[in-house]
């Protein structure tokens, strides 16, 4: 295989969405698997869609996920600049070359001319709706005007575009690594604009020229670009670059969690999950969107869940937890599916939970201490780590650790209504008063000892565990959830436990 050089080529038109993240990730994994290069190229030729801050956001997001870049304007590289607006000087010559070789032509049609063409085709109910082989000869371009008139218009600085001259009636059979053969009929394609007289190339021209100059070996991108593949192939052919043309792989769509169609930002808003990796504030609308980072996802978990959107390890393996390093070893484009991949927000939470459970309590303690601080509570590391150990199997996110433990520091002032209805019975007050007596007499307040003492008492008096321990838990924590109740008692200590039960009896 030739040296693997792949690029992630986002346009800075907004926050990086999940489809973009997945494209970046698969490019990265492919590069690492083949000891190749992962390149970041910013495709900002469409200045009308430029959004300030978007480029920085993309770079920050890739860093958060842990996708280190081998070549870009920031890290450098032999093939820079890596931002298309800084490569403007390069494209003119290539557009010119296509015109000179008869593969492209100048078109001087005004927006009004194009509108007339569109209306005319509509009135004729033509199956062709665009500027292309069937319509170009009735338009204002260098093919119909002739060389002299064209030169005159160019000299007069009449605005123009350069269009690709789509061959008529050619049947193409192209190759996609994921999808196999892709057939296309050029008579159904149009003469795309490649270059505008303001000196800016369009996406198609810039993309092909840059992939060629940057020696890109594989183009891995979203399915929405599949319809452009025939044009891209024809551009390589017209330039005489077929021998070094990259291989193509078009990734499947990420689908809505419910219903059909592509996952959109609206689905996230509607169903309450983030669609961007990091916090994003839209500079135009001021709309603020929470990212996976703020939602409490660990970058490793986020990377893991994204990797499985459209890829699996094959061989009927059911493994779902993969480190980045592991993925870099086993990722193949052959194991990417053709079919769209349903986005599953619940499963994503599960992924995060797996990573949370694997993390050492000392590491989780850092999050715990930070969140406690926000509530004005100072906790030392050893205690934070111990509590993380107690509550972590109930948590999906780092923020849950403090939420689930807050009652260890702050006595409840309210009691969960539903729990109260279910567990606070006429005999509860008496049982709690008796429990207070037992607690008062207990010297060794370790979880184990407390468990032995209460077990004996409950058994010897034909009481049930639920009848004693549920109301006790309610008074200690404000609701009936949390770790083992004797661990809670030990953690709170004798004095505080008794105080909470006494206060609870009065206030509930």
User: Is residue 72 a contact residue for ligand GLU (CB under 6 A)?
Assistant: no
- 265 is an active site residue: yes
Distance of CA 1 to the CA centre of its chain: 30
Strand pairing category for 254-255 and 341-342: parallel
CB burial class (10 A; 0-12, 13-18, 19+) of residue 463? middle
Q: How far apart are CA 427 and CA 420, in angstroms?
A: 13
Start-end of H helices in 66-202: 88-100, 111-123, 142-155
Q: Min. distance of Cβ 225 from ligand GLU in angstroms?
A: 5
Q: Which residues contact 446 (CB under 8 A, 6 or more apart)?
A: 490
- In the list 5, 10, 61, 482, the residue contacting ligand GLU (rule: CB under 6 A) is 10
Largest Cα separation within the chain, whole Å, is 110
User: Is residue 9 a contact residue for ligand GLU (CB under 6 A)?
Assistant: yes
Q: Which residues contact 160 (CB under 8 A, 6 or more apart)?
A: 106, 107, 108, 153, 154, 197
User: Is residue 11 a contact residue for ligand GLU (CB under 6 A)?
Assistant: yes
- In the list 6, 32, 37, 43, the residue contacting ligand GLU (rule: CB under 6 A) is 43
Q: Min. distance of Cβ 250 from ligand GLU in angstroms?
A: 10
Q: Min. distance of Cβ 7 from ligand GLU in angstroms?
A: 7
Q: Min. distance of Cβ 17 from ligand GLU in angstroms?
A: 10
Q: Which of 280, 208, 296 is nearest to 20 (CA)?
A: 280
Q: How far apart are CA 478 and CA 342, in angstroms?
A: 39
Q: Min. distance of Cβ 273 from ligand GLU in angstroms?
A: 23
Q: Find the catalytic residue in 83, 196, 262, 265.
A: 265
Part in contact with ligand GLU (CB under 6 A); list of ranges 3-11, 256-264, 335-343, 371-379? 3-11
- In the list 50, 64, 79, 225, the residue contacting ligand GLU (rule: CB under 6 A) is 225
Q: Which of 191, 37, 25, 180 is nearest to 105 (CA)?
A: 191
**Closer CB to ligand GLU, 10 or 36, in the complex:** 10
Q: Min. distance of Cβ 469 from ligand GLU in angstroms?
A: 57
**Closer CB to ligand GLU, 219 or 356, in the complex:** 219
Helix, strand, coil percentages for the chain (3-state, nearest 5): 50, 10, 35
**Closer CB to ligand GLU, 136 or 250, in the complex:** 250
Part in contact with ligand GLU (CB under 6 A); list of ranges 6-14, 235-243, 247-255, 489-497? 6-14
**Closer CB to ligand GLU, 248 or 402, in the complex:** 248
User: Is residue 278 a contact residue for ligand GLU (CB under 6 A)?
Assistant: no
Q: How far apart are CA 26 and CA 324, in angstroms?
A: 11
- Note whether 43 and 209 are within 8 A (CB): no
**Closer CB to ligand GLU, 24 or 303, in the complex:** 24
Q: Min. distance of Cβ 232 from ligand GLU in angstroms?
A: 8
- In the list 22, 165, 192, 221, the residue contacting ligand GLU (rule: CB under 6 A) is 221
User: Is residue 207 a contact residue for ligand GLU (CB under 6 A)?
Assistant: yes
User: Is residue 25 a contact residue for ligand GLU (CB under 6 A)?
Assistant: no
- Note whether 48 and 200 are within 8 A (CB): no
DSSP run (H or E) holding 248: strand 247-251
User: Is residue 250 a contact residue for ligand GLU (CB under 6 A)?
Assistant: no
**Closer CB to ligand GLU, 73 or 320, in the complex:** 73
Strand pairing category for 5-8 and 37-40: parallel
Q: Min. distance of Cβ 419 from ligand GLU in angstroms?
A: 51
Part in contact with ligand GLU (CB under 6 A); list of ranges 4-12, 29-37, 168-176, 187-195? 4-12
Bridge partners (DSSP) listed for residue 231: none
Q: Which of 255, 253, 262, 358 is nearest to 304 (CA)?
A: 358
Q: Which of 277, 269, 278, 271 is nearest to 303 (CA)?
A: 277
**Angle (deg, nearest 10), helices 18-33 and 299-307:** 80
What is the set of active-site residues?
Answer: 265
- Positions touching ligand GLU (CB under 6 A) are 9-11, 43, 207, 219, 221, 225
């Amino acid at each position: 295989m030739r040296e693997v050089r792949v690029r992630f080529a986002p346009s800075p038109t907004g926050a990086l969405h999940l489809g973009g993240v997945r494209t970046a990730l698969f490019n990265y994994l492919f590069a690492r698997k083949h000891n190749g290069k992962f390149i970041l190229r910013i495709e900002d030729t469409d200045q009308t869609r430029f959004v300030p801050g978007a480029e920085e956001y993309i770079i920050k997001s890739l860093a958060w996920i842990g996708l280190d870049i081998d070549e870009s304007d920031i890290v450098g590289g032999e093939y820079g600049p890596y931002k298309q607006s800084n490569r403007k000087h390069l494209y003119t010559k290539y557009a010119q070359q296509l015109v000179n070789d008869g593969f492209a032509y100048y078109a001087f049609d005004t927006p009004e001319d194009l509108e007339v063409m569109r209306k005319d085709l509509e009135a004729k109910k033509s199956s062709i709706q665009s500027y292309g082989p069937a319509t170009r000869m009735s338009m204002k371009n260098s093919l119909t005007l002739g060389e002299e008139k064209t030169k005159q218009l160019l000299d007069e600085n009449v605005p123009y575009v350069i269009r690709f001259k789509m061959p008529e009636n050619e049947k193409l059979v192209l190759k996609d690594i994921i999808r196999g053969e892709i057939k296309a009929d050029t008579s159904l394609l149009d003469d795309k604009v490649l270059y505008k007289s303001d000196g800016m190339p369009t996406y198609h021209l810039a993309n092909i020229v840059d992939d060629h100059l940057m020696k890109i070996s594989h183009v891995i991108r979203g399915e929405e670009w599949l319809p452009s593949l025939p044009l891209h192939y024809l551009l390589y052919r017209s330039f005489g670059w077929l021998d070094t043309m990259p291989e193509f792989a078009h990734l499947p769509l990420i689908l809505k969690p419910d219903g059909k169609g592509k996952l959109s930002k609206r689905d996230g808003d509607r169903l309450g999950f983030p669609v961007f990796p990091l916090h994003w504030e839209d500079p135009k609308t001021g709309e603020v969107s929470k990212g996976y980072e703020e939602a409490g996802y660990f970058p490793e978990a986020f990377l893991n869940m994204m990797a499985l959107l459209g890829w699996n390890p094959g061989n009927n393996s059911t493994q779902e937890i993969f480190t980045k390093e592991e993925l870099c070893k086993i990722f193949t484009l052959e194991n990417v599916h053709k079919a769209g991949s349903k986005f599953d927000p619940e499963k994503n939470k599960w992924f995060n939970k797996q990573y949370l459970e694997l993390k050492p309590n000392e590491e989780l303690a850092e999050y715990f201490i930070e969140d406690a601080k926000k509530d004005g509570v100072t906790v030392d590391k050893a205690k934070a780590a111990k509590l993380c150990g107690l509550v972590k199997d109930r948590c999906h996110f780092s923020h849950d650790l403090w939420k689930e433990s807050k009652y260890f520091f702050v006595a409840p002032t309210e009691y969960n209504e539903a729990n109260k209805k279910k567990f606070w019975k006429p005999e509860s007050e008496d049982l709690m008063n008796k429990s207070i007596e037992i607690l008062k007499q207990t010297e060794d307040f370790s979880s184990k000892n407390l468990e032995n003492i209460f077990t004996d008492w409950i058994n010897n008096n034909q009481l049930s565990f639920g009848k004693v321990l549920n109301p006790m838990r309610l008074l200690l924590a404000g609701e009936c959830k949390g770790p083992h109740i004797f661990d809670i008692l030990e953690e709170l200590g004798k004095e505080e436990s008794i105080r909470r039960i006494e206060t609870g009896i009065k206030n509930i």
